[in-house]
Structure 1
Amino acid sequence: MFAQVEVSQGILKGKVCETVFGKKYYSFEGIPYAKPPVGNLRFRDPQEPENWKGVRDATKPGNKCCQLNPYTQTTIEGSEDCLYLNVYTPSLPGDEIENLPVMFFVHGGRFIFGYGDYYKPDYFLEHDVILVTINYRLNVLGFLCLNIPEVPGNAGLKDTVFALRWVRNNIEHFNGDYNNVTVFGESAGAGAVASYMTSKMANGLYHKVIAQSGNSIADIYMIDDDPIEKAIKIAENLDQEIEDERSLYEFLVQVPIQDLIVAFSVAEIGRPASVINAYLLPVVEKEFPGVERFFDEFPRIDFPLQRFTKVPVMTGMNSHEGALFLQKDEDGHVEFENDYHYFIPKFLHIPKEDERTAEIEKKIKKFYFNNLEVDQSLKEQYINMVSDTFFQFPIMLWPEILSKADCEVYMYKFQYSGNLNTRIMKALGISGASHGDMIQYQFYRETKHEKADHTDMKIIKMLAEAWCSFARNGHPTWEDQETEWLPYTRTGKQVLIIDKNIECVRNPDLDRLRFWKGVTGEVCKL
Structure 2
Amino acid sequence: MHSTDIVVLLCLVINCFHVNGLIRVKRIIGGSPADIPPSAVTNYTRPTTEATLTSTEQVIYVKRDERSALVNGVQNDDGTYSFLGIRYAEPPVGRFRFQRPRKLKLKGEVDATKFGPPCAQWKGGKVIGSEDCLFLNIFTPKLPDGNVSQPYPVLFWIHGGNFKTGSAAQYIPRHLVRKGIIVVTIQYRLGSLGFLSIGRKELPGNSGLFDIATALRWIHDYIKYFGGNPNRIVPGGQGSGASSATMLALNKYSRRRVSGIFAMSGSPISPFSLDDSEIRTSREVSKETRVCDNLEDIQFVRCMQQLPLETILKADSGVQENRLKTGGFIKGLVNLLVPGPSEEGEEDERFLPHFVVTSPFQAIKHGLFPPVPLLTGITKDETGSGCRGNFFQEIKKKLSQPSYFQSNFFMDALQANKGLLSNKTINSELQSLFRNSNYVKFFGMLVASALSDIEKIIKQTTDAFFTLPAFITSHLWSKKSNVFLYSFEHIPKKSLAEEFLSGIPLISPSLSHNYEKKGPEHGDDLMYLFDIRSIEGAPLENPLINETDSTVREYFCTMVAEFVASGKPRIEGTDEWKPFSAILGNYMVINDRPKLVANFRKCEMGLWTGDYEILRSPECSILHQAAEALKKSFGQIQSPFLKPSTIGLPLYGLKPPGYHRKPIGTLPGIVPNPLLVGGGGGGLSNLRNQSITGGTGNNPLNPLNHNSGISNPLAGLNALNNHQSHGHPGITGNNNPLANTRSALPDTRPALPGLNRPFGGLSSNTAAGSRNPLGGLIPNNNANIRTTPPVANENPADNAEGGTSSNVNPLTGLIGASRTTNNPAISIGAQDSMNNYPSRHTGLFGFRKIFRG
Cα deviation 1:405-461 (Å, max 9, x = unaligned): 3x1110000111132435769973142111111112110237554542111101001
What amino acid is aligned across from residue 527 of structure 2 in structure 1? Q
2:474 aligned residue: 399
1:29 aligns with 2:122: no
Is 1:459 the counterpart of 2:464 in the alignment?
Answer: no
Partner of residue 733, structure 2: none
2:176–2:561 contact (8 Å) kept in structure 1: yes
Query: Is the aligned partner of 1:382 residue 2:457?
Result: yes
CA contact (8 A) 1:40 1:253 kept: yes
The answer as to 2:118 corresponding to 1:64 is: yes
Equivalent in the alignment of 1:369: 444
- Residue 602 (structure 2) aligned to one of 497, 510, 519: 510
Correspondence for 2:30 among 8, 31, 36:
8
CA shift at 1:375, angstroms? 12
SS at 1:280 equivalent: coil
Please tell me whether residue 322 in structure 1 is matched to residue 380 in structure 2: no
* Counterpart Cα distance in 1 of 2:367 and 2:639: 18
Query: For 2:383, what is the secondary structure of its paired residue?
Result: helix
| 1:373-522 paired onto structure 2 within 5 Å | 377-405=452-480, 407-422=481-496, 428-445=515-532, 449-479=542-572, 481-518=573-610, 521=639
Going from structure 1 to structure 2, the CA distance change for 1:319 and 1:302 (only over 3 Å counts) comes to same
Contact kept, 8 Å, 2:544 with 2:550, in 1: the verdict is no
Maintained 8 Å contact 1:184/1:209: yes
TM-score by length of 2: 0.57
CA contact (8 A) 2:30 2:107 kept: no
Aligned with 1:171: secondary structure? helix
- One-letter code aligned to 1:128: G
The aligned counterpart of 1:84 is 135
Contact 1:419 1:452 survives alignment (8 Å):
no
Shift of 1:197: 1.8
Cα deviation digits, residues 93-139 of structure 1 (max 9, x gap): 24644411111100000000000110002111111111100110010
CA RMSD of aligned residues (A): 3.1
Change (3 A) 1:455 1:168: same
The 1:415/1:41 distance shift into structure 2, 3 A limit, reads: same
Residue deviations 1:447-494 (CA, integer Å, cap 9, x gap): 554542111101001111111111111121234x23332211243221
Task: Out of 375-384 and 83-92, give the one that drifted further.
Answer: 375-384
The one-character-per-residue Cα deviations of 1:222-246 (angstroms, maximum 9, x if unpaired) are 2432x22221221111224315222
The answer on whether the counterparts of 1:134 and 1:163 sit within 8 Å (CA) in structure 2 is yes
CA distance in 2, matches of 1:153, 1:419: 41
Q: Report the secondary structure of 2:487's partner residue.
A: strand
Q: How many residues align?
A: 514
Aligned match of 2:168? 116
Distance between the aligned counterparts of 1:464 and 1:190, measured in 2?
17
- Checking the alignment, whether the CA contact within 8 Å between 1:333 and 1:376 is kept in structure 2 is no
Secondary structure in 2 matching 1:466: helix
Paired with 2:308 and 2:456, the residues of 1 have a C-alpha distance of 46
**Which structure would you say has the larger RCO, counting Cα contacts within 8 Å and 6 or more residues apart?**
1
Aligned equivalent of 1:47, options 87, 102, 111: 102
Structure 1: which 5+ residue stretches go unaligned?
A: none
Cα pair distance change 1:262/1:333, threshold 3 Å: closer
- Contact 2:177–2:183 at 8 Å: present in 1 too? yes
Per-residue CA shift, 1:360-396, capped at 9, x if unaligned? 3736851333599x99832222111111222111111
Q: Would you say the 8 A contact 2:586–2:600 is kept in 1?
A: no
Tell me, in whole angstroms, the C-alpha distance in 1 between the residues paired with 2:580 and 2:130: 42
Answer 1 or 2: which has greater helix percent: 1
Q: Cα offset for 1:511? A: 0.9
1:13 CA drift (Å) = 0.7
* Map of 1:294 onto structure 2: 355
Change (3 A) 1:375 1:234: farther
- Shift >4 Å, 4+ stretches: 327-334, 336-339, 348-351, 354-359, 422-427, 519-525
Question: Aligned with 2:452: secondary structure?
Answer: helix
- Per-residue deviation at 1:399? 0.9
Checking the alignment, whether the CA contact within 8 Å between 1:88 and 1:130 is kept in structure 2 is: yes
Tell me which moved more, 462-471 or 239-248: 239-248
Contact 1:420/1:440 (CA < 8 Å) preserved in 2? no
SS at match of 1:326: helix
Structure 2 counterparts to residues 51-450 of structure 1, below 5 A: 52-53=107-108, 55-69=109-123, 72=124, 74-94=125-145, 96-97=147-148, 98-225=150-277, 227-240=278-291, 241-271=293-323, 272-274=327-329, 275=331, 276-278=334-336, 279-286=338-345, 287-288=347-348, 289-326=350-387, 328=389, 335=396, 337=398, 338=404, 340=409, 341-344=411-414, 345-346=417-418, 347=421, 349=424, 356=431, 359-360=434-435, 362=437, 366-369=441-444, 377-405=452-480, 407-422=481-496, 428-445=515-532, 449-450=542-543
* 8 Å contact from structure 1 (residues 211, 316) kept in 2: yes
Change (3 A) 1:363 1:66: farther
Spell out, residue by residue over 1:206-258, the C-alpha distance to the aligned partner (whole angstroms, 9 max, x if none).
Answer: 20111110000122212432x22221221111224315222221211111110
Question: Post-superposition shift, 1:350?
Answer: 5.1
| Partner secondary structure for residue 341 of structure 2 | coil
Equivalent residue letter for 2:460: M
Q: Which amino acid aligns with 2:188?
A: Y
Which residue of structure 1 aligns with residue 627 of structure 2? none
Identify unmatched segments of 5+ residues in structure 2.
Answer: 1-5, 11-27, 32-68, 399-403, 497-508, 533-538, 612-637, 644-853
Q: Is 1:146–1:249's contact at 8 Å kept on the other side of the alignment?
A: no
Q: Contact 2:274/2:343 (CA < 8 Å) preserved in 1?
A: no
User: Residue type matched to 1:476 in 2?
Assistant: P
Identity of aligned residues (%): 26
The answer as to whether partners of 1:318 and 1:413 remain within 8 angstroms in 2 is: yes
Larger fraction in strand: 1
Q: Over alpha carbons, which structure has the higher Rg?
A: 2
8 Å contact from structure 2 (residues 585, 600) kept in 1? no
Q: Is the 8 A contact 1:368 1:382 kept in 2?
A: no
- Contact 1:123–1:443 (CA under 8 A) maintained in structure 2: yes
- In the TM superposition, what is the alpha-carbon distance from 1:331 to its structure 2 partner? 9.0
